[in-house]
Amino acid sequence: MNYNDNDPVCSLTKRVHWNVTVPAEAAGLRLDQAVPRLCTGLSRTQSRKIIDIGGVHVAGRRVRSCSRSVKEGEEIAVYCDGLPLVPFTLNADAILYHDTDIIALNKPAGIDTQPTPSRFQGTLYAALTELLIDPFRRHLEPSIGMVQRLDRDTSGVILFSISPRAHKPLTTAITTHAIGKTYLALVAGVVPPGTYEIKSLLARSHRDNCVRSISKGGKEAVTRYHRLAACDSCSLVAVTPITGRMHQIRVHLSEAGFPLLGDTRYGGPGQLGEMVISRHMLHAQQLEFLHPLTRQPLAITAPLAEDFQMLLNYYNLTDYSEVLC
């Protein structure tokens, strides 16, 4: 991951959102002049960086040109997600598999998979676009199919199609559950030995944007998990999501009484003993599937993120080998 976290102008530490209307006295200003004038607390340097990564929207459309003039009455929305205000870039170490049709990456935690209101640059999709673009023909965007997504704070293997001929068969493999997925999760509590299956209907609440199991009207979700190792306060489990619903693993494990460490949104502890846990401890460990064109069997595994491995070492949960459910 390539971030300059030590630059004080490169980050705002809290999620912030401004909605402002351009007054007559600001009409004609450059966007990077109008934003700091109308949004209390933003410097011009910060405003330029937010514009550059795609966090400024004028009249409902993302604008990434600092020199664009604003007009009286225009609505400007500024989004800041609290992450560094610099583009995220990929290096060769992040590539787990790459051929002419597909690419698998080891996604770090803290990076959005796809563009959000706060940023286009700084997402995995944008970084992959930059990685694949032909430097001699930059006007030609690479063909990228986003066939799966990982939550911002989930680390691990993620797969993209990168040729038009691979988009449809890879999408079909995802929707028909032909791609086997294995996750590692650190959860609060002691999971009993054995393999378990959770099946429920999941739906997102508009009130708090959280996902929950409901009695009817939701989408079917099936999760299998089993314990790999445990200590007095937490457990390491291998998880296989049979379906791929939003927040499925996080919700199902929480409802089973074993929320992810760090997943405060779904009841997980943000601190366990002396250890402060800054994100939910979920890692996409492995994908198993047939290559969409050659039909060659592939098993792609992502090494653990440093913070995940550190917690395994701290709680002495490293004595495991088999991870598949």
pLDDT at 323: 53
Is the pLDDT at 37 greater than 80? The verdict is: yes
Domain boundary among 55, 80, 105: 80
**208 is a catalytic site residue:** no
Is the pLDDT at 10 greater than 90? The verdict is: no
Quick check: is 324 in a domain? no
Nearby residues of 263 by Cβ (< 8 Å), 6 or more positions away: 250, 254, 280, 281, 282
Quick check: is 252 in a domain? yes
- CATH code for position 222: 3.30.2350.10
Quick check: is 167 in a domain? yes
The answer to whether residues 268 and 121 belong to one domain is yes
- The pLDDT of 256-261, averaged and rounded, is 98
Is the pLDDT at 192 greater than 90? The verdict is: yes
Under the banding of pLDDT at 50, 70 and 90, the label for residue 324 is very low
pLDDT at 322: 56
- The pLDDT of 216-222, averaged and rounded, is 93
Is the pLDDT at 271 greater than 70? The verdict is: yes
- CATH code for position 24: 3.10.290.10
How many structural domains is the chain composed of?
A: 2
The answer to whether residues 117 and 195 belong to one domain is yes
pLDDT in tens, 111-127: 999 888 888 877 899 99
pTM of the model: 0.85
Domain boundary among 53, 80, 107: 80
Please name the helix (run of DSSP H) or strand (run of DSSP E) that holds residue 288, with its range, or none.
strand 282-290
Quick check: is 325 in a domain? no
Domain boundary among 80, 104, 121: 80
Contact call for residues 84 and 4 (beta carbons, < 8 A): yes
pLDDT in tens, 224-234: 999 999 999 99
Under the banding of pLDDT at 50, 70 and 90, the label for residue 13 is low
pLDDT at 121: 79
The answer to whether residues 228 and 285 belong to one domain is yes
Under the banding of pLDDT at 50, 70 and 90, the label for residue 167 is very high
The answer to whether residues 76 and 97 belong to one domain is no
In this structure, what token pair is assigned to residue 8? 């004080």
The answer to whether residues 75 and 96 belong to one domain is no
Q: Give the Cα-Cα-Cα angle 94, 99, 103 (nearest 5 degrees).
A: 40
Range of the domain at 146: 92-314
Counting Cα atoms < 13 Å in the Cβ hemisphere of 164 gives 1
Indicate the range of 71-80, 83-92, 177-186, 245-254 predicted with least confidence.
Answer: 83-92
The answer to whether residues 156 and 101 belong to one domain is yes
pLDDT at 168: 95
Catalytic pick among 32, 81, 101, 151 = 151
Quick check: is 1 in a domain? no
Nearby residues of 176 by Cβ (< 8 Å), 6 or more positions away: none
Contact call for residues 145 and 204 (beta carbons, < 8 A): no
pLDDT at 7: 43
Quick check: is 321 in a domain? no
